[in-house]
Structure 1
């Protein structure tokens, strides 16, 4: 997850200085609009229907009851299908699905849950730092943004490195505690001063 702050007129402020310390990324709105294009995952009804259908079929074929009846793509359920029965990866491989499609199903299911629960929006990133970051979910609160990479996270879950419920819990906590833009600016300027003092 990463915070983006829309504050200034330059694309990014003092990127050179930021590399030396833990200074938050600060972007302006023009840069964000150029880099990120809003996408509507619900317009691809085939993908959404296939995704939810695979989750339901997994439960039926493995004779497992979902931990949460509805929605079927609740994070607890997504973790359950990855870890119980045949496991979602093995199950999908039986249908000759590629790893990228299996990851996409989980990422789409998780994204749809967050969109409906919190109002996240899906964006395509024209300058992704890593291949699995082409799709990002963003939540904007008065200029302070929370960004999540569902494809990258779904791959971590498939590799047993994390869980959807873990990220869901973190998101739920962070949305209530997102910093105000003025607070971020103050932190940013103080950290830059610290860098300047160290170099002096």
Structure 2
């Protein structure tokens, strides 16, 4: 019985922590960055936005650019319409994924297992979103950011971040994904990686800065 009671205490503690702590977007990020000398334009890059292809489930371009601009500012890049050295194309979309209604339904939120391991006991604790309930979708969110050297036309930074989860507050999730996509900028890890980012308040569309005359 003490094992069951201890497990219930763990459940209560975990749920309390989840309720009080910030929500974190767990993103899968994949980035390709230019090597020297092409990478020189990335350090403190001056950029301008270029229109990209439109996708289903994508917010208005001005909203996406505001999210990307906030993330780029965090890594030292400067929006500069008149003196840009790189162009930036951004995209982002959120699509609902509905479970297969023929899949065996399960609405269990918390699972508690008691068992015996070799020479000892074992307690398993887990929780998750309902499986097989056709009324409860999950959401696939993805952003991409493509930077190109305006003088050479070379792609100098190509990064994508994706996330599957239960949240449908589109702007906040996409804003966090842009931050995740720029993790490690301008010299990111070459391999695909997981990056956790707290949900951010959505950025508001901002007017393009005036030309600096550079």
Q: TM-score, normalised by structure 1?
A: 0.24
Structure with bigger helix share is 1
Specify the structure having the higher radius of gyration (Cα): 2
Structure with bigger strand share is 2
| Higher RCO, 1 vs 2 (CA within 8 Å, ≥6 residues apart) | 2
